[in-house]
Structure 1
Amino acid sequence: MKITGLNVYQVDLPLREGRYSWSNGNFVEVFDSTVLEITTDEGLCGYAECCPLGSAYLPSFALGVRAGLAEIAPHLIGQDPLNIGSINRTMDAALRGHPYAKAPVDIACWDLLGKATGQPLYTLLGGAAQDDVVLYRAISQEAPEVMAKKIEGYAAEGYTKFQLKVGGQVEDDIARIHATRAALKDSDLLVADANTGWTQHEAARVVKAIADLDVYVEQPCMTYEESVSIRRRTALPFVLDEVIDTINALVRAIAEDAMDVINLKISKVGGLTRARQMRDLCVAHGIPMTIEDTWGGDITTATIAHLARSTPAEFVFSATDFNSYGTVDIAEGAPRRVNGRMTAADRPGLGISPIFDALGDPVAQYR
């Protein structure tokens, strides 16, 4: 099998709630998502999606995905998409860094591998380890009482795990955490996710003020070193996200006992190939994971579902159904939430079919 072309689509994904807000005043109202189609000489096509969380979250942005694909694409024509190791080496030789731009190529090749072998991706990623996966709901940063009310509403939909967007003013964040924890059942899990938004002294104040609550603290500060300093000052369980962006970063964090849980975002690390390596390393060292991505629609949600379903339940802290946050469907056959859980399709590959009427015409084509 040989790659004959790459078709790149751009699609806007508006939010049902109108706005998604997180630390330091950042927000997005309409997500700019890129969908990739890889065509082959055997008639099979592979699909993937990459959707950065704006341009102020990670070193990634929507136009960067498409610019990176423009650099990579000429080197992929004629390559065997089923030789995914070679595909990744080719991309790394053509473009240094920018893993998020390479992620859709890697994922689309995995989709092709599943279709070529007649197997769902969860089988290729290690086999079904659970029937379905538990989801968390992100609660956009607002006034404490508004966030508490939203948690009550989503709990009624079957969610039992919640990621609270903090990283604002310290006093407001302390109130947000107290108010939302009070709205939950004792068995529900709450994660206070600062998304790097606190300085070290601010984070120290927060963890002291919430020390008696049942809550996880996620990525309090911008750097690894600052965050680990806060880890040493609190007995609360600790999650690292933005700074766990490579295998080497994960190895260091495990060796230094830097966290209890990691947030594994598939496009952040370059696609399913490296995400699977990091997943397996976490399992070997007893580190649970939130398995997700920066954002996306139906295709991203399917990718998350396959990696999560092939991971033992005790190591899936939670996963994300991003397609339930938006108003636009871009693929048929994508996972749908049922009572706070979702599953990956048993169909070959990702198990989805793009809705081309929603995607529109390609914004770039490479042959």
Structure 2
Amino acid sequence: MLFAYTISCVEITDITATTVDVPLRELDETLGIGPYVTNHGQVESMERVLVRVDTDEGLTGWGEMRVFLSPRATEAIIEDGIGPLVIGQSPFETERLRRQVFIEYTNIELFFAAVETACWDIVGQAVGKPVYELLGGWSAPEQTTARNRDAADAEPAAEQEIEFAFCLGILPPEESRVKAREALDAGFSVLKTKAGQNWKQDVERIRAMHDEVDGELEFRLDPNQGWTVDQAIRVGAALEDSGIYLQYMEQPIRTNAHQQLSNLTSRLRQPIAPNEDTYIPHNLRSLIEAGAMDIAVLDLTPAGGIGGLRQQAAIVEDAGIPFTHHCAFDLGIRTAVILHAAHGIPGFSLPPDTTYYAWEGDVIESPFEVTNGRIRVPDEPGLGIDVDQDAVERFQI
């Protein structure tokens, strides 16, 4: 009866968005990665939009996303676009809200995702349960191997930890060596590096890092659509000739070229893993039908939140395709969401990406600890995090 009362009575009363800018630790620091160079530019700090959802029962939930175009534009879409559509409604009805929000000419799910995760946070608090329990998959650990890869030898506490992949920008081969050693010494087993500016140097960097760690790290290579088909084939073949088999090659060519991706999957023994392609509605089924995807790199933000991610996970799991979760320079709020999702949605079989180890600061009161490449899933109600308002003010732009 209490649960029914909670559902019927809690209403969303306000939605606010605040942008912060948090710097990355510099490259000369251990596990520092700034400036983080990609095929499209470089990052020394990252603007993140923090979304707060308040209710008439005094419960507050949080979400987080990257800036779209500008802080003012992102905040306006959330507060002035989504706010009027959901204020006065129940945060328990996340799926109905996700399906009803609509703004013409805009993929509004991208912006609604942060509101949706805040609603999950509120629901968990209202019923006194962590979000991962509400998702149901945590009770089937054999189906969630991202957190159970070494279950036979793991300590009991490790059952509620998620393994992550270390992320690194484009660096010269010798500098990449140093960071690969740092990642291995810190307990990571997978390193993802950006690529795409010079495919020959991309090959040399992977060779240098592989040599430095004596093959003890697996590698992911992500050019962010930066190669042509023939370049991707050359990269994959050159690494194979060196005895290096990537965990996957992420979105090597442009999006919406599914037949070309299919050709890559048939010509290379390096697994192909679309990422940006999965941001486009209904592309997952097209990729599966075309045989253009060995691994899926999903992201809950373009999916519309936890509910959308769970829907995508079911599609690729049903197709027998392994999947993991993308990193967008996530602070503590979105990192918490990813932890709950990877722990609570069955099928995550590869470590999600993260750059969490490289932040100069965070906006939550008790920042996560990255130990041996793993982060413990919070077990407090909701997302299990409290936002540090002083930190928000310090980093706010």
Q: Do both proteins adopt the same fold according to a TM-score greater than 0.5, normalized to the shorter chain? A: yes
Deviation, structure 1 residue 351 = 0.4
Q: Which residue of 2 aligns with 1:214?
A: 245
- Contact 2:131–2:383 (CA under 8 A) maintained in structure 1: yes
CA-to-aligned-CA distance 1:6-45 (integer Å, 9 cap, x gap) = 1221111110123111114x11111111111111011101
CA-to-aligned-CA distance 1:310-367 (integer Å, 9 cap, x gap) = 244x733112344322112201245321111112111111000000011129989xxx
Q: Are residues 49 and 204 of structure 1, via their aligned partners in 2, closer, same or farther at CA, if it must alter by over 3 Å?
A: same
Find the partner of 1:274 among 304, 308, 314. 308
Deviation, structure 1 residue 176 = 1.4
Report whether the alignment pairs 1:19 with 2:50: no
- Contact 1:194–1:220 (CA under 8 A) maintained in structure 2: yes
Find the partner of 1:170 among 199, 219, 223. 199
Read off the aligned partner of 1:160 and give its amino acid letter. S
Report whether the alignment pairs 1:184 with 2:184: no
Read off the aligned partner of 1:255 and give its amino acid letter. E
- Contact 1:304–1:320 (CA under 8 A) maintained in structure 2: no
Q: Which is worse superposed, 154-163 or 14-23?
A: 14-23
Deviation, structure 1 residue 95 = 7.2
Q: Which residue of 2 aligns with 1:329?
A: 362
Report whether the alignment pairs 1:157 with 2:191: no
Q: Which is worse superposed, 231-240 or 84-93?
A: 84-93
CA-to-aligned-CA distance 1:109-131 (integer Å, 9 cap, x gap) = 11111111111111112232352
Q: Are residues 90 and 328 of structure 1, via their aligned partners in 2, closer, same or farther at CA, if it must alter by over 3 Å?
A: same
Read off the aligned partner of 2:199 and give its amino acid letter. V
Report whether the alignment pairs 1:41 with 2:73: no
Q: Which residue of 2 aligns with 1:80?
A: 90
Q: Which is worse superposed, 158-167 or 197-206?
A: 197-206
Alignment length (residue pairs)? 356
Deviation, structure 1 residue 145 = 1.2
- Contact 2:167–2:354 (CA under 8 A) maintained in structure 1: no
Q: Are residues 110 and 125 of structure 1, via their aligned partners in 2, closer, same or farther at CA, if it must alter by over 3 Å?
A: same
- Contact 1:9–1:360 (CA under 8 A) maintained in structure 2: no
- Contact 2:210–2:216 (CA under 8 A) maintained in structure 1: no
For the aligned residues, what is the CA RMSD? 2.3
Find the partner of 2:18 among 9, 16, 30. 9
- Show structure 2 runs of 5+ residues with no match: 1-9, 27-33, 142-146, 148-159
TM-score by structure 1 length?
0.90
Q: Which is worse superposed, 222-231 or 249-258?
A: 222-231
In the alignment, the residues of structure 1 paired with residue 219 and residue 52 of structure 2 have an alpha-carbon distance, to the nearest angstrom, of 37
In the alignment, the residues of structure 2 paired with residue 297 and residue 96 of structure 1 have an alpha-carbon distance, to the nearest angstrom, of 25
Read off the aligned partner of 2:313 and give its amino acid letter. R
Secondary structure of 1:164's partner? strand
TM-score by structure 2 length?
0.83
Q: What does 1:223-242 align with in structure 2 at a 5 Å threshold?
A: 223-225=255-257, 226-242=260-276
Q: Which residue of 2 aligns with 1:145?
A: 174
Q: Which residue of 1 aligns with 2:377?
A: 344
Find the partner of 1:290 among 316, 324, 328. 324
Q: Which is worse superposed, 331-340 or 188-197?
A: 331-340
In the alignment, the residues of structure 2 paired with residue 89 and residue 185 of structure 1 have an alpha-carbon distance, to the nearest angstrom, of 49
Secondary structure of 1:192's partner? strand
Q: Are residues 194 and 362 of structure 1, via their aligned partners in 2, closer, same or farther at CA, if it must alter by over 3 Å?
A: closer
Q: Which residue of 1 aligns with 2:295?
A: 261
Secondary structure of 2:84's partner? helix
Q: Which is worse superposed, 261-270 or 285-294?
A: 285-294
- Show structure 1 runs of 5+ residues with no match: none
Read off the aligned partner of 2:12 and give its amino acid letter. I
Q: Which residue of 2 aligns with 1:50?
A: 65
Q: Are residues 339 and 294 of structure 1, via their aligned partners in 2, closer, same or farther at CA, if it must alter by over 3 Å?
A: same
Deviation, structure 1 residue 247 = 5.4
Deviation, structure 1 residue 203 = 1.8
- Contact 2:19–2:71 (CA under 8 A) maintained in structure 1: no
In the alignment, the residues of structure 1 paired with residue 391 and residue 228 of structure 2 have an alpha-carbon distance, to the nearest angstrom, of 42
In the alignment, the residues of structure 2 paired with residue 224 and residue 62 of structure 1 have an alpha-carbon distance, to the nearest angstrom, of 28
Give the share of equivalent positions with the same residue, in percent.
29
In the alignment, the residues of structure 1 paired with residue 298 and residue 289 of structure 2 have an alpha-carbon distance, to the nearest angstrom, of 18
Q: Are residues 22 and 362 of structure 1, via their aligned partners in 2, closer, same or farther at CA, if it must alter by over 3 Å?
A: closer
